[in-house]
A and B are shown apart, each in its own frame.
Chain A
Amino acid sequence: MKKLLFIPIFFIALNAYSQESENNTAINKNAYTQLPNEYSYFINDSNISWAASYNTNYSY
């Protein structure tokens, strides 16, 4: 009887996991996630003592 109880619990958990993975793929399709997460890299690296971003125009 206890083994039979595990079957619906297993399916409920599987359903929840699949919904979560669908949400993750929906986020991954967003183009913003293709941009690099550069700011966390510069802040977390302890060898970097100073960092700043700026924009300039170059005529090559």
Chain B
Amino acid sequence: MNYASIYDYLIQAQRKGFLKSYQLRLDKYVEIDRYINDSGYNDNYCNAKYMADSATLAAGKQYQSAIFLKDSLKEVSIDQILFIQDHKLKCRSIIAGTEYIVMLDSIIRLGSSVKSLCCINTTTAIDTSKKDKITFLKTTYQLINADSDYYSKIYSLKKMYGMNLITTLWYDLSKGYNDVLDIKTNTMIPASQIWDYSDTLQQPIFDSLGDSIGYKKIATNPLLYSFSSLGIYQDWYYNITRNIFFCKIKQVDIYAPTAKAEDGYNWINEKRFKIIFK
């Protein structure tokens, strides 16, 4: 691809016509070039024709300088489905769209919006054939909160016994198909100890006069109940032959509150476990 980025490639491919673009508002495939020109979007991916900076605005002149906006926005919005299949966390991108800048005539930037959707993935299989041309885009790291499926970020499609994503992954680890590493103690956790895996704290023992005479080790509640968020490493690829995005997840991090001091205070929410998918 002789383009600056995948963002430029998607827009140019839609305008030249070899990549189908889809308008949800019009309920049909349209020519993206005509649609964008009708709605006032120019080559700088912005609906404002004349831009002005503070110096020229003071002088009462306006001239076209929206190139800096074009460079500032290189975002591709991807609708994807996360799922756990065959003891692995997988991801499938359904549809993608390029973001355009929305501005008022009075040069106030409202934000960005998706004008067209493309790269519709109609296949259920993620694997691609060897003849396909594939480019690697980048590796992203994304945090998903444990309670995010109760709010608006994640729309849940399927659950197992009401468990969230982290708990389902943790339950799957107890079958022993994947490795999990405790970063704090730098040890691999056996599959038999997954469910009741907990921290050990030192609790002081006092005599009748109130003086501490020693410590005893106690076990906390199982860490399963205090998982806060999940960090996902996603390797993103673009299949030029089929015009679809796809990604591979090799490892994830589980965040849990960890006692920094051994007295049981100073709990800090930090990266605690690392799961490596075989």
Contacts and interface: CB of A to CB of B under 8 A. Distances in A.
Interface in A21-60: 30-32, 34-36, 38-39, 41-43, 45, 47-60
B81 A57 contact: no
Contacts of A43: 157-158
B70 to A, nearest CB: 13
B208 interface: no
Given A41-B124, A50-B160, A52-B149, A58 B78 contact: yes
Interface residues of A, number: 26
A21 to B, nearest CB: 22
B74 interface: yes
A31 B25 CA distance: 12
A35 B77 contact: no
B159 A58 contact: no
B129 interface: no
B122 interface: yes
Interface of B: 5-7, 22, 27-29, 74-86, 92, 94-95, 99, 120-124, 137-138, 140, 142, 149, 153-160, 163, 165, 168, 172, 236
